[in-house]
């Protein structure tokens, strides 16, 4: 049973390793959904919100991680 629980934790860890990144991406997806609801005739706007939001969140996460690494703060691994 512990082997199954460990495997489940590892699978969840693949998707939710960094909680703040997961929440930020979820917020971008929700914002894209809201955009799609209010502007249904312009799917490119929704796509731009989704793409720009995800890239912005990823960039911010990388900058935060490299800042922690350069200041000597240990990074969380697996």
In this prediction, residue 48 carries a pLDDT of: 97
pTM of the model: 0.67
Helix H or strand E encompassing 61 = helix 43-70
Question: What are the residue boundaries of the structural domains of the chain, listed by start?
Answer: 43-69
Q: Cα–Cα distance between 64 and 5 in angstroms, integer?
A: 31
pLDDT band at residue 64 using 50, 70 and 90 as cut-offs: confident
pLDDT band at residue 69 using 50, 70 and 90 as cut-offs: low
CA dihedral of 4, 18, 30, 48, whole degrees rounded to 10: -120
pLDDT, tens only, 24-45: 999 999 999 999 999 999 999 9
């Amino acid at each position: 049973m512990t082997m199954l629980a460990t495997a489940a934790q590892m699978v969840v860890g693949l998707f939710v390793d960094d909680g703040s990144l997961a929440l930020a991406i979820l917020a971008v997806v929700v914002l894209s959904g809201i955009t799609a609801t209010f502007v249904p005739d312009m799917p490119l706007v929704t796509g731009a919100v989704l793409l720009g939001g995800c890239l912005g969140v990823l960039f911010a996460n990388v900058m935060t991680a490299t800042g922690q690494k350069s200041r000597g703060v240990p990074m969380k691994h697996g």
